[in-house]
Structure 1
Amino acid sequence: MSQFNYLNDLKDLKTIDGGITRGPVPRWQKKLDASLTANRSVLSQSNVTTKTPAKLNLDKARKTPNHKEKTISADRFGDRFIPSRSTSNFDLGHYLLRKEDNKDKEECEDKAEETTANSPKSDREKLLLDSLQMGDINTQRIFCYQNKAPAAPESHVNPIRVVYSMKTPVSHKSGATRYIPTSSDRILDAPDIINDYYLNLLDWSSQNIVSVALGNSVYLWNSTTGAIEQLIEYDEGDHACSLAWITEGHILAIGNNAGIVELWDCSKMKRLRVMTGHSSRIGALTWNSFIATSGSRDGSILHHDVRQREHRAASLSGHSQEVCGLKWSTDYKYLASGGNDNLVNIYQGVPGGSTTHNEPLHVLNQHQAAVRALAWCPWQTNILTTGGGTADRCIKFWNANNGSLINSVDTKSQVCALLWSKSYKELISAHGYANNQLTIWRYPSMVKQIELTGHTSRVLHMALSPDGNTVISAGADETLRLWNCFTPDPVASKKPSAASCKAKPSILRSTSLR
């Protein structure tokens, strides 16, 4: 029995495939053990604890005969990236693997049903993925190494988003960008302001004085000093319906609900003159040098020459209902009027401030609602902009020379007022329901630049500051808001304009108010 065991042991030694349990240690094993011993001594001296992944790497190194003969230091062992099971999509991974395996098999079975972008099979697969809200599977991640952030509650407001939304870059012709603040620069209280679409209760003078009618009173606000003064308080049942400052100076024209135009010297807080002629309230006023033009609910338009004792210079016809908008062009060549009869009339003007004929030169009848918002382009004096009421909601551009319609834009809301910028080729409009916003448009493309929100009710009135930088708006929510939306380009402002070099003489020097 012992001899038989001896022969078997000898046979195992001679067989190459047999396991050799005794013999010299391989050279690579000696070097690895020596390096591991040195590393353990270094780690024990520096009190550095090896991490679990490092242990696994060391064990693997012991079992690998082809391990490179390099010194292994503790700083080379880092953490492994372990996917998060809760966010990893293993089903998608399994599907993609099976899809690759079956791709060649499907092509061999039937080449006619090869998957293409337009095949029915591809369409069915796309619909299925869309229903599962998986999107494009080729861009989906199978492994995720961190959990997704939880969704924010509905009431959460991102402060970073608020900061970056405060200013919106807007490009202009110079190629640079300017920023329009989306919030109002200042808010003033306007209690008891009359919520009437057909009245014009706000204006800003060249002396930087804002006039506003609140209830049965008219107030003056000095935007430079912040001082507020009450100009007039009417008896109960009477109130101002329209306000208009003379082009240069401190004379304010007030049209009231009795059909009377009053002239006030606001520097002395004194009434200068009372001019009659209308049988109903005066909802619109505008100035042409020494001519004050008024529009009434009786449908008539009167020219008042404030230099003459007999102030009534001319009477214009053309509207069958209330006149709610009046504007002279910047060169005083045309007078535009808008009424509750959905008409816009353009009258031919003369240098003396009157009109050549009582009948309108052009009758524009393409609006579907009352037209109160009127504005003339400052650099193209023959371009008239008009805005319609709730049933129309359009901003239209007209050529006053021939009465043709140039462009029409549907704003989706009631247009209450229009203003042109002095610094940019832009237009700002005030709106009612549903957003009660101010919108800045780029002209002539009429691309919407930005919407200024803050009013909680329709924006009834707008006025532009003398320098053209600030817009003041009055809303039915009984607030006045100042928007610093037309700050000029600092590079362009350094260049002196020809208009600024030629100072115009004051109109008041040659005007005698009787």
Structure 2
Amino acid sequence: MDLDIARFNLLCEAKENTSMLLNITSPIKEEYRKKLAENLLQEKNAKDGKKILVFKKKKRSTLKEDERLNYLLYCDKSGARKSYRHIPHLPERILDAPELVDDYYLNLLDWSSKNVLAVALGTAVYLWNAESGAISQLMQTSEDDDYVTSIAWATDGKHIAVGINSMEVQIWDASKGSQVRRMSGHTARVGSLAWNGPTLSSGGRDSRIINHDVRARDHIASTLKGHSQEVCGLSWSPSGQQLASGGNDNLLHIWDVASTEYLYRLSDHQAAVKALAWCPFQAHLLASGGGTADRCIKVWNTQKGTCLNSLDTQSQVCALVWSRHYKEILSSHGYSKNQLCLWRYPSMVKIAELTGHTARVLHLAQSPEGTTVVSAAADETLRFWKVFVASDKSNAIVRMHAKECGSLLLKAVQIR
């Protein structure tokens, strides 16, 4: 007996029987197969043997079945991929800033609507024209032991307010390089300034906020009392209806433009509140940052006086800037990394961390078109970061913001 032939015959018979069993079908199975082909191939006369499956409904195609199957097989899907914005982690430019005072409670940097950056270095204020690159000295204190403690551009981009250690506020015409007027009222240094049309608010180490009407001979329009220590942060809302003030007493106050009594006293921070920034795309939304013992960024609804979000950044918060192009906020920090952090709002997920400064990053200022942010640090350098490059979609937000700013510029600041 030939065992090899016998084994071969048995195997062949088994394969034939198996294939016969597989080919046996019933009317129910056949109907199910057709329905499956119709739904998954989206074609009632789907041919046998097609193996392309579609698991979501699509619009009825005008293509023939063979053409559509070829399209599904060979079409390029790369255009459907989501594009991601590149955030440069290196500064676009670095400038020296010798004698920049290393004091957390001062405000020594501001960028005008006419694209001129002002920075206070010791006893003097310098202007850097971002378009031409020209640098000029605007002013210098009359006494060598005096120094500049705060600066703030008016919305017209022409006038700039300068607070000094000797308790005085000066207003300068930057286009002419001349002093327009001097205003007194504080009994200690003036560390914070904020404009609201023709009104200039100043915050002092004497814990007071003075609202100056720069058009009037008797310039003191009102005095706001609520803090018990130095007022180190001041910022008017985009609408001009609310003023936010932060102090070394760990308090944040919200003031109404028509009242000398604070609207809300917010005591959630556990350290000095210097960093203040109003949201450009949502009304009554304010971000505040706390000092070394607090380290938190808090987001507030100033209409209700409620905290919407709180984030522990693990570092002293020195300054905050909202993006005008994206729903993002940039923060600058002190010990231990001396970094800038970019956060997505409202999730407050960290998008990027920008490093390079070797000492705490005390100040931030945003360019008028909103694409570049400059940081000033105690390492005596200015670094320019192109973090908010606008996309086509975000340009609509910028145009709306520019339109609002333009309406504010129509209110010319007439200084007596």
Answer yes or no: same fold by TM over 0.5: yes
Indicate the residue corresponding to 2:293 in structure 1.
391
Task: Please list every run of 5 or more consecutive structure 2 residues that lacks an aligned counterpart in the other structure.
Answer: 1-80
Residue 287 in structure 1 maps to residue 195 in structure 2 = yes
C-alpha contact 1:249 1:508 (8 A) present in aligned 2: no
Task: State which drifts further: 225-234 or 499-508.
Answer: 499-508
Indicate the residue corresponding to 1:329 in structure 2.
237
How far apart in 2 are the matches of 1:496 and 1:398?
A: 23
For residue 272 of structure 1, what is the amino acid of its counterpart?
V
Indicate the residue corresponding to 1:358 in structure 2.
260
How far apart in 2 are the matches of 1:493 and 1:176?
A: 17
Residue 193 in structure 1 maps to residue 95 in structure 2 = no
How far apart in 1 are the matches of 2:182 and 2:233?
A: 22
Indicate the residue corresponding to 1:217 in structure 2.
124
Indicate the residue corresponding to 1:418 in structure 2.
320
How far apart in 2 are the matches of 1:324 and 1:485?
A: 26
Change beyond 3 A, Cα 1:270–1:428:
same
Residue 242 in structure 1 maps to residue 150 in structure 2 = yes
Change beyond 3 A, Cα 1:348–1:190:
same
Indicate the residue corresponding to 1:405 in structure 2.
307
Give 1:248 deviation, angstroms: 2.0
How far apart in 1 are the matches of 2:247 and 2:403?
A: 39
Indicate the residue corresponding to 2:376 in structure 1.
474
How far apart in 1 are the matches of 2:123 and 2:199?
A: 26
RMSD of aligned C-alpha atoms?
1.8
C-alpha contact 2:125 2:138 (8 A) present in aligned 1: yes
C-alpha contact 1:243 1:254 (8 A) present in aligned 2: yes
C-alpha contact 1:253 1:262 (8 A) present in aligned 2: yes
For residue 206 of structure 2, what is the amino acid of its counterpart?
D
Change beyond 3 A, Cα 1:384–1:219:
same
Normalising by structure 1, we get a TM-score of 0.63
Match of 2:344 among 439, 442, 457: 442
How far apart in 1 are the matches of 2:374 and 2:260?
A: 34
Q: Tell me, what secondary structure is at the counterpart of 1:504?
A: helix
Normalising by structure 2, we get a TM-score of 0.78
State percent identity of aligned pairs: 53
Indicate the residue corresponding to 1:275 in structure 2.
183
Give 1:247 deviation, angstroms: 1.2
For residue 292 of structure 1, what is the amino acid of its counterpart?
L
Q: Tell me, what secondary structure is at the counterpart of 2:175?
A: coil
Residue 260 in structure 1 maps to residue 168 in structure 2 = yes
Structure with higher RCO (Cα < 8 A, 6+ apart): 2
C-alpha contact 2:156 2:413 (8 A) present in aligned 1: no
1:158-187 C-alpha deviation (Å, 9 max, x unpaired): xxxxxxxxxxxxxxxx95311000000000
1:32-82 C-alpha deviation (Å, 9 max, x unpaired): xxxxxxxxxxxxxxxxxxxxxxxxxxxxxxxxxxxxxxxxxxxxxxxxxxx
Residue 339 in structure 1 maps to residue 269 in structure 2 = no
How far apart in 2 are the matches of 1:257 and 1:496?
A: 37
Indicate the residue corresponding to 2:214 in structure 1.
306
Q: Tell me, what secondary structure is at the counterpart of 1:381?
A: coil
Give 1:217 deviation, angstroms: 1.0
Change beyond 3 A, Cα 1:373–1:505:
closer
Match of 1:227 among 134, 144, 148: 134
Indicate the residue corresponding to 1:144 in structure 2.
none
Change beyond 3 A, Cα 1:359–1:455:
same
Which has the larger share of strand?
A: 2
Change beyond 3 A, Cα 1:458–1:220:
same
Give 1:362 deviation, angstroms: 0.3
For residue 336 of structure 1, what is the amino acid of its counterpart?
A
Which has the larger share of helix?
A: 1
Change beyond 3 A, Cα 1:433–1:423:
same
Match of 2:364 among 453, 462, 467: 462
How far apart in 1 are the matches of 2:186 and 2:330?
A: 32
1:371-427 C-alpha deviation (Å, 9 max, x unpaired): 000011111121111100000000011110111111100000000000000000000
C-alpha contact 2:208 2:231 (8 A) present in aligned 1: yes
Task: State which drifts further: 455-464 or 489-498.
Answer: 489-498
Give 1:509 deviation, angstroms: 6.3
Q: How does 1:99-178 map onto structure 2 within 5 Å?
A: 175-178=82-85
Task: Please list every run of 5 or more consecutive structure 1 residues that lacks an aligned counterpart in the other structure.
Answer: 1-173, 350-355
Residue 182 in structure 1 maps to residue 89 in structure 2 = yes
Change beyond 3 A, Cα 1:400–1:209:
same
Change beyond 3 A, Cα 1:258–1:501:
closer
Match of 2:334 among 412, 432, 445: 432
Give 1:512 deviation, angstroms: 2.2
Give the number of aligned pairs.
335
- Greater Cα radius of gyration, structure 1 or 2: 1
Q: How does 1:24-35 map onto structure 2 within 5 Å?
A: none
Give 1:510 deviation, angstroms: 4.0
